[in-house]
């Protein structure tokens, strides 16, 4: 193991055979990192994008009234602990997602672009907002961006209404012709964050030779901690404890994989048996990626469009996609809303986790903006208007939370994307079909 520099700059790594580990933000790094790591008021150091498939039940999503949030709606109620850091936006649209389909919902969510109608390899979309951000925010990180999902993704063939599967499954596009595949397996994400060098066989051998990733660093961690103050030692202990716990849960899921029959064909082998446990593990990995500054841009697809996943653990044995085409059946709508509620509750846990994780002069959430939402409004008719959209962010971003903002006229989601890019330090005149920035969302930075 080596420490890359004698001082402790923000980009400090511990290195061992087949593994590397970035450190969390420590007080010992601040003198060396002051010029580059402190986020100016009104700017976000990180951006995150969480995609919810197949819209929602708007009657249980939309808060009553406008302005300051009162009692949250049934689907959003789990977000109450972070209400001060939350914006609910109504009447946003994806005009370029029409004619309505699941494929265009997914493809347009981060691109706001019109997908070329094709089943072949001549697909064409647009560069997504996360990848525009990654070109700047990713310059100083190990990974420019991180693309995650909950399901195995098909990349060829026809998936929906004559559209190629790349539209259906890929949220992130680095160019209009370059979709970026997402990873659903926690072990592979863990190795992406902490593995280094060698072939797949080399990494597998390294794993067999140690009970935990931290085993490779235990002596060097002890030596480094002797040079740090009490606060930094405690921060490192929390960080390493989280890594060890995440790794333990991954190992447990892999060791018990044979005990649980797969509930659907999209779930990778060797992941936690329940959807919620899998999602929490993926969110934990995202928090670690931010905490170690491995990346500053993350996208996460909570389920694929047209997913037939069932959720028996919350009393919904019905496949999600058929429920979304509910035909105004109250019982089907109620069961769909329970799925919406589960997805939002997992996002809420993640926001609270970021809020509780120290980072420099505040928390991870203080320097992060998160977009949560869907490319479909009313799934029963594949409507791309009045999308369910949330924005969460902390103090340094300039976001004024605890509000429900309802636009009088349908407003391009691209306007929000343009605003998020501006908050991340990219001063662009336009993005896709945007008509302007939403400065009213960030009055604390004006």
Of the candidates 67, 18, 45, 38, the residue with the CA atom closest to the CA atom of residue 289? 45
Distance CA(66)–CA(64), nearest Å, equals: 7
Q: 113 Cβ partners below 8 Å, 6+ apart?
A: 96, 107, 125, 126, 176, 432
Look at the chain and report how many structural domains it folds into. Answer: 2
Among the listed ranges 5-9, 72-76, 96-100, 308-312, which one has the minimum average pLDDT value?
5-9
Q: What is the pLDDT of residues 45-81, one digit of tens each?
A: 999 999 999 999 999 999 999 999 999 999 999 999 9
- Assess if residue 334 is contained within a domain: yes
What is the chain's length?
Answer: 446
Question: What are the CA-CA distances from residue 301 to residues 173, 184, 241, 318 (Å)?
Answer: 14, 9, 27, 20
Q: What is the pLDDT of residues 223-268, one digit of tens each?
A: 788 888 888 888 888 888 888 888 888 888 877 765 555 445 555 6
The residue-averaged pLDDT of 355-366 equals 92
Distance CA(208)–CA(315), nearest Å, equals: 39
Both 311 and 391 in a single domain? yes
Q: What is the pLDDT of residues 173-226, one digit of tens each?
A: 999 999 999 999 998 898 888 875 555 566 556 555 556 777 777 777 887 888
Both 55 and 143 in a single domain? yes
Last residue of a domain, one of 270, 286, 310: 270
Both 439 and 404 in a single domain? yes
Q: pTM of the entire structure?
A: 0.89
Both 48 and 192 in a single domain? no
Both 179 and 194 in a single domain? no
Residue 405 sits at φ, ψ, to 5 deg, of -105, 115
Q: Which pLDDT value is given to residue 117? A: 93
Both 139 and 68 in a single domain? yes
Vertex 136, ends 134 and 140: CA angle to 5°? 90
- Assess if residue 115 is contained within a domain: yes
DSSP 98: P
6 pLDDT more than 80: no
Q: Please report, for the domain that includes residue 365, its CATH number.
A: 3.40.720
- Give just the sign of the alpha carbon dihedral 319, 324, 327, 333: positive
Q: Which pLDDT value is given to residue 421? A: 97
Residue-number span of the structural domain to which 199 is assigned? 1-38+187-270
Q: Are 236 and 273 in contact (CB under 8 A)?
A: no
């Amino acid at each position: 193991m080596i420490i890359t520099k004698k001082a402790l700059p923000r980009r400090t790594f511990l290195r061992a055979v087949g593994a590397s580990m970035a450190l969390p933000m420590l007080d010992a790094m601040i003198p060396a990192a002051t010029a580059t790591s402190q986020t100016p008021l009104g700017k976000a150091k990180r951006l995150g994008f969480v995609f919810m498939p197949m819209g929602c039940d708007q009657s249980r999503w939309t808060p009553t009234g406008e302005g300051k949030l009162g009692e949250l709606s049934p689907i959003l109620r789990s977000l109450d602990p972070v209400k001060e850091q939350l914006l609910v936006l109504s009447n946003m649209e994806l005009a370029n997602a029409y004619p309505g389909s699941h494929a265009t919902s997914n493809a347009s969510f981060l691109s706001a672009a019109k997908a070329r109608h094709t089943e072949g390899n001549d697909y064409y979309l647009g560069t997504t907002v996360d990848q525009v951000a990654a070109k700047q925010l990713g310059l100083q990180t190990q990974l420019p961006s991180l693309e995650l999902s909950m399901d195995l993704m098909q990349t060829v063939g026809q998936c929906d209404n004559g559209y190629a599967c790349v539209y259906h499954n890929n949220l992130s596009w680095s160019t209009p012709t370059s979709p970026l595949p997402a990873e659903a397996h926690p072990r592979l994400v863990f190795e992406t964050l902490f593995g280094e060098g060698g072939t797949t066989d080399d990494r597998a051998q390294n794993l067999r030779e140690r009970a935990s990733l931290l085993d490779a660093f235990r002596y060097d961690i002890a030596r480094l901690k002797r040079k740090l103050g009490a606060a930094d030692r405690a921060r490192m202990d929390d960080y390493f404890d989280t890594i060890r716990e995440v790794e333990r849960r991954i190992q447990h899921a892999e060791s018990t994989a044979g005990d649980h029959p797969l509930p659907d064909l999209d779930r990778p082998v060797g992941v936690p048996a329940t959807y919620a446990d899998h999602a929490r593990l993926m969110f934990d990995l995202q928090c670690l990626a931010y905490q170690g500054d491995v990346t500053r841009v993350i996208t996460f697809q909570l389920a694929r469009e047209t997913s037939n996943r069932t959720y028996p653990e919350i009393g919904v044995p019905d496949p999600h996609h058929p429920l979304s085409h509910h035909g105004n059946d109250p019982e089907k709508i109620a069961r769909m809303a329970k799925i919406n509620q589960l997805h939002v509750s997992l996002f809420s846990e993640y926001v609270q986790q970021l809020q509780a994780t120290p980072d420099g002069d505040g928390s991870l959430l203080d320097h992060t903006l998160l977009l949560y939402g869907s490319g479909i409004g009313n799934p029963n008719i594949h409507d791309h208007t009045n999308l369910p959209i949330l924005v969460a962010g902390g103090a340094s971003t300039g976001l004024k939370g605890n509000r429900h903002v309802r636009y009088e006229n349908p407003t391009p989601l691209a306007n929000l994307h343009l605003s998020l890019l501006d908050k991340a330090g990219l001063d662009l005149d336009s993005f896709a079909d945007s008509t302007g920035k939403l400065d009213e969302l960030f009055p604390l930075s004006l």
